[in-house]
Structure 1
Amino acid sequence: MAISSRLSTVRPVSIAILAMGGQGGGVLADWIVALAESQGWVAQSTSVPGVAQRTGATLYYVEMLQARDGAQPILSLMPTPGDVDVVIAAEFMEAGRSVMRGLVAPDKTVLIASTHRSFAVGEKEQPGDGIGDLEVVVDATDFAAKRTIAFDMESLALSSGSVISAALFGALAAADVLPFAKAAFEAAILAGGKGADASISAFNAAHERTRHRPRDEVRAAPVKRFDELPERAGHPVLDRLANRIREFPEAVHGFLFAGVKRLTEFQDPAYAGEYLDRIEALYARDRESGGEAKGYAFTLQAAKYTAVAMAFDDVIRVAEIKVRASRFERVRKEVGAKKDQIVYTTEYMHPRMEEVCGALPRRLGRWIEARPRLFTRLDALVNRGRRVRTGTLFWFTGLYIVSGMRRWRRGTLRYQQETSHREAWLGSASDILAKNYDLAVEVLCCRRLIKGYSDTYARGHSKFDTVMSALPMLVDREDGAAWLRRLRQAALLDESGVALDGAMKTVATI
């Protein structure tokens, strides 16, 4: 990049860094200050802490000025909106917030941002899709910034065994906005000592990437990708399942293959075969109802949501996930643990008696649920929060034994309850199919409301039942599918169901 793009050295150079805990924002600010001072400049940094639990980033602010005539400059402690030369955001939504705060100016600011996401509490707490729209941030930054450098620096840093601060520092060096050589940037990292090799690796990778491809295309939602259906799975039973999938329309193959893999992992190949049996019957109804003209939308949604319904989250499933070797390895990678370091994971679990009864043989579980006084007394013993350290022998062994109950899952009360509910839901969709094809498709999509376990599962079930209770009012209406979709969207808006209650009252008046 041409030297003319560099910032003026007559006035202070201002850099704002927005980073969350664990991203090394303070280290990055220290590197920038050390870099400036090593070149004879005067620099200072300040910080304003964000709020814990991922509701706000810490703002680090650096100002630097070339020393002249031995005079000591006066530097600002806080950024002035519209007067920041470089904004560095360690997460993409923080880049958007920097624009909202007025830190980014179109005639002045170079914006450096990582395009990965660390979801905020407000995004996670939504029952539906509460994720912020990345395309809105892209539009805002393109308009607000003089120049934007944006790609996934988090993944790049992790692949180098470092943290994102090193990658952001590399992007800053390659942006050519500071009048310092690359070697000076590297010297600032090396002066830190510990972990310098990994940081230098991430720095160089980001520097190279910024030079050759400084922008990534950002999408509002990730592109859905399915594994290709293999010619041979390497096992006779699995080969038979793959051959059965080929009997369906090609548009459905991706969902069916994903469903078969999920249910084989959840239970066994026979269970995946039961899934294909059920979808085959629904596909036949779809053909009879003119599904070909609709692109077999009914079969496609049935393939997706029936697999989700059959792979329900019971106590056995939760225990199995907690003790997987792949999960322990993923946690180690996320925290950056070295081979000689021990990592203990503490899980917070709050079981209820409902979950205990669901894991029991169906007769015993029903017997306990039919005796309220006994159920209440047992619930008082069970229903409390526990912090489970899965790295200890006691808790790992306990969860491992529970996960081994998978072979007896078909005999549990929860399995019977899930099967009955699933068949009632699919039966409703099938009955409506001939009368109102689009409404039947929306009925299948309503399974999205049920997710998780414990209280989350109970709330989802309640909302599902409320939405489904509107079917008699909608089945004869041409716009019935649109109304059911609105009800489902209202159910996903808030946890308490206020929006759904209002939508149901509206439906009752149409």
Structure 2
Amino acid sequence: MNRTQPITLLICALGGEGGGVLTEWLVDTARHAGYAAQSTSIPGVAQRTGATTYYVEVFPVPLAELGGRRPVFSLSPVPGALDAIVSSELLETTRQIGNGMSAAQRTLVISSSARTLTTAERMQPGDGRADGQRLLEVVKAFSRAHHVFDMGAAAREAGTVVSAVMLGAIAGSGLFPFPREAYERVVRGGDAGAPEKIGKMAAASLRGFAAAFDTVNTPREQAAMVSRLLDTSADESARPLPLPPAVAAQFPAPVHDLLALGHARVLDYQDADYAALYVERLARVLAAERAADPAGADGFATTREMARWLALWMAFDDIVRVAELKSRASRAQRVRGEVRAGEHDIVRVYDHFKPGAPEFAALLPAALAHRVTAWDRRRATPWAMPLKIGSHSVAGMTALRLLASLRWLRRRGSRFAEEQALIDRWLDAVVAGTRADWRLGHEVALCGRLIKGYGSTNERGKSNLLHVIDHLATAPLSDGSPAARATAIAAAREAALADEAGNALDAALVRHGAPPRPVKAQPIRWMKRPPQSAAGHRT
């Protein structure tokens, strides 16, 4: 939870459903729990002739901890900057999503699956209802998480109005830092000590509240239990370290989850200085995105994507990294768990390696590395060293740990310098594109997906990325507008991911006015024909 920004909630209700009462319940719950809150509303007309929306903000830090300071709240929701949307009608939910209110990386959507037909739907001679399945697909596609159930049926079974059901759904989602008892106390009217004196209306509201609370909270608890069970067997080294406060303060809350993962990965890969370089590079992207989108309407999506792909690229695979991962104690524990070995069972693990000249040259200075790779290219067949290392043995583990200890040599190697230069070219293109147009920078950032794998696959991905940057992001085009460039880059990226051979990518490049990738020379290797016997048969 971001403790420097309010929790934002948009409530969408129809006329007569008690949206105003629900808003008052939430504000009263917050204030009785010791939190600052504010609500605004845009009342509609009646039924489906007008939208009735209510906007609630709650500051997640108790007033007692603010030292007399008071938060400043907004009077209206910002599209894409909502933490949650709660709606009593499915089409109204998708209408708000269509207005840009929900962000796929940020917004929790809680909606009723029930429909109240619009006037346009009723006017059709045949079945004019909107397709409910398509509406659900929109909710799924544009929400961080979603809970959809029939709020109207729950309200009828409890004998209450839908506002009580919506309150239970909000409480069950864990959106606000209030206990369940705080919500129920407000529904009771503040009298928690005499349940026998609760009126029929309050009792019915509590029944509807409880039904919705269980509907939303039960799946959350089950998912949390599964996550805890999986965490007990997960690789301890894969769990990210907490984000340093100094780093967290530089970035907005929507970036923190991926930033924490990326920072931990780069730190584990090399050292603190390398992690600081990661933060410095990401800060450049954030500055450009804030200039292009000062209100953060797009949820800092470009910075989020760069936090992901930049960390993956900076932590590129090499022989040092492979040896380090294979020699970790957690890996041996995982292998024993996978084969279900008992405490006294003996498990032998053999790792097969075949490093070639490029892998060893990567750790050498540039001049020496070029001599090694040139020698390898002159050979009839590329040189490689097949290895079979028993990581269960003392000798095998010693060899792996010795190779893993060469992390300090990585910075002095030729590949490290080459990778950093390529990363900076990509980073410069993202920053320049973002300052020109937010979508252009976002599409260039997404091109980080092209960098994957190792060996020839990795080299091909980097070559494709640089070709897209040079010829679509920066080079003159017939239509050089930022919007046209963004569309062209998106098409080229998807084509590159869909076709490993690159034919689709070349077609997409030509279609948008860029040259296809140059044909790379492939060495021709002459092989001696095996000797033949007198009968003409090969021996």
Give TM-score scaled by structure 1 length: 0.49
Give TM-score scaled by structure 2 length: 0.47
